């Protein structure tokens, strides 16, 4: 798998924004990607040093719209911790939106 296919997009949520202050960044990743591939992809794309990678599978949820029933997609999430003092400029634009 190519490194550009491993990381799909960053996850922008309240929890991921709080984690980014601690040097941990959250990404939606390819379901077949493992920790080593995720580490290599983040280091290559953002030119940072990764200390730790945690992965989890987000389960699908049941949804309803009128009579129709369905489920959301299941996906894989990775929380990547960087070396002290390093950052990824993904969430930098969100700092002005605080309270």
> How many domains is the chain partitioned into structurally?
1
Residue-wise DSSP of 12-58? -SHHHHHHHHTTEEEEEE-TT--HHHHHHHHHHHH---EEEEEEEEE
Q: What is the CATH number of the domain that holds 20?
A: 3.30.70.330
Alpha carbon distance 87, 82 (integer Å):
7
**Domain, as residue range, for 37:** 3-61+71-84
Asked if residue 10 has pLDDT above 80, the reply is: yes
| Average pLDDT for 53-80 | 96
Give pLDDT tens digits for 74-90: 999 999 999 999 988 87
Residue 31 forms part of a structural domain:
yes
CB contact at 8 A, 40 and 48 = no
| Average pLDDT for 27-32 | 96
Burial class (CB in 10 A: 0-12, 13-18, 19+), 24: middle
Residue 94 forms part of a structural domain:
no
The pLDDT of residue 4: 86
Average pLDDT, the chain: 90
CB contact at 8 A, 11 and 28 = yes
């Amino acid at each position: 798998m190519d490194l550009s296919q491993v990381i799909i997009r960053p996850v922008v949520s309240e929890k991921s924004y709080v984690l980014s202050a601690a040097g941990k960044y959250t990404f939606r990743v390819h379901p077949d990607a493992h920790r080593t591939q995720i580490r290599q992809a983040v280091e290559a794309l953002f030119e940072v040093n990764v200390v730790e990678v945690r992965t989890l599978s987000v389960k699908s949820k049941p949804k309803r719209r009128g009579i129709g029933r369905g489920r959301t997609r299941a996906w894989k999430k990775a929380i990547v911790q960087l070396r002290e003092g390093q950052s990824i400029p993904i969430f930098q634009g969100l700092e002005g939106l605080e309270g």
